[in-house]
Amino acid sequence: MDANRTRETNAWAIEAKGLVKVFGKHRAVDGVDLTIQEGTVYGFLGPNGAGKTTTIRMLATLSKPDAGTARIFGYDLATEGDRIRSRISLTGQYASLDEDLTGLENLVMMAGLMGYGRREAKTRAKKLLAAFGLEDAAKRQVKNYSGGMRRRIDIAASLVVTPDLLFLDEPTAGLDPRSRNQVWDIIRTLVATGTTVLLTTQYLEEADQLADRIAVINQGKIIAEGTSSELKASVGTGTLTVQLVNAEDRGRTIELLKRKLGVGIHTGADPTMLTAQVNDPSIVAEALGDIAQERIAISDFSLGRPSLDEVFLTLTGHAAETENV
């Protein structure tokens, strides 16, 4: 798959401004601005309850925003719902098919609802089942499908007519790695044929793997937006990890690093492990030199670009496993 998928187009699939959704006193979505270019994958990254699903539901015409405006392919969300609905598709978080019906019956139903006649509906349904590797399960009730098959038929149902914009709400939640990879392949193939995808995920790796651009959302607000490299860069050049041989050297090492690097040092559950977000890589060498001079034995060190996990923790302040010293 070509990593650089940006297209020569200025068309926006989604332009949203100041979206707000309030449930009682809780501002589930609190002023979300969003622009998504056609033909790209956009990742919505955030923890449970961050407002990801609520935002998607508004953009998919399922729920009216309490404030703000949005255009989907230039159509106004508030007044042109029907036009929008004919170009989008939604695969929700939960089984979005009739579980008592077979896979084939479900897809024939969806094809019928998209306007296919009986015969074409059946042809189309069979073609999709084959494409998603579900031929053998065609005549089984969906409730007897495995998690991965379930997800695939859910997505297949959204592609009965290939949408211009596909919303995928946590497409790989609860899937084993193999099924997850299959779903990723489907998404990549889909984007290669020109569909814009907006997906939500709690998995940073997923956003990193699939999304051209990522919005980190927390408590109803977008707290960072950009490509995965931009987000990583925004948190500092990288993470220095130092592994000590003896845990008793920890205090001294922290002092040394703090003085040299001028940033906070994080300690985790492992007493011999120290990490720090570094802005200037050139002083890392000096800091390590100081450690060597003090005859502190280290078994390992590394300087890496921050993972999205670290980005996320830095941005949201949910530093659950680490404490600032």
Partner 1 sequence: MIDSTELRRQVTVDERLQDAISSTSRPKRPSAASSTMVFATRALLRIRHVPEQMFDVTLFPIIFLLMFTYLFGGAIAGSTADYLQFLLPGILVMTVAQITMYTGIDLNNDIRKGIFDRFRTLPIWLPSALIGALLVDVIRYSMASFIMIGLGLALGFRPEGGLSGVLMAIGMILIFSFSLSWIWTTLGLIVRSEKSLMMLSFLVMMPLTFVSNVFVDPSTLPSWLQGFVEINPISILATAVRGFMHGTATFEQVMWVLIVSLLFVAIFAPLTMYLYRNKK
The interface with partner 1 within residues 21-50 (CB under 8 A) comprises: none
Among 35, 63, 243, 314, which residue interacts with partner 1 (rule: CB under 8 A)?
63
In the chain the beta strands, taken as DSSP E runs, fall at 12-23, 26-37, 41-45, 67-72, 75-76, 88-91, 165-169, 196-201, 213-218, 221-226, 238-244, 265-267, 273-278, 298-304, 323-324
Instruction: Count residues near partner 1 (CB under 8 A).
Output: 52
226 binds partner 1 per the rule CB under 8 A: no
The residue from 112, 202, 263, 315 that contacts partner 1 (CB under 8 A) is: 112
Site for partner 1 in 174-193 (CB under 8 A): 185-186, 189-190, 192-193
Please state the φ and ψ torsions of residue 27, each to the nearest 5 degrees: -85, 90
Query: CA 311 to CA 231: how far, in whole Å?
Result: 7
Footprint of partner 1 on residues 138-157 (CB under 8 A)?
141, 154, 157
CB contact at 8 A, 235 and 315 = yes
**Residue nearer to partner 1 on the CB measure, 146 or 189:** 189
CB nearer to partner 1: give 21 or 250.
21
Q: Compute the least distance from the CB of residue 113 to partner 1, in Å.
A: 5
Per DSSP, helices labelled H in 39-146 are 52-59, 81-85, 103-113, 118-131
**Residue 234 sits in the site that holds partner 1 (CB under 8 A):** no
Nearest to 101 by CA among 160, 136, 144: 144
Positions that interact with partner 1 (CB under 8 A): 57, 60-64, 82, 85-86, 88-90, 92-102, 105, 109, 112-116, 120, 124, 127-128, 130-133, 141, 154, 157-159, 161-162, 185-186, 189-190, 192-193, 195
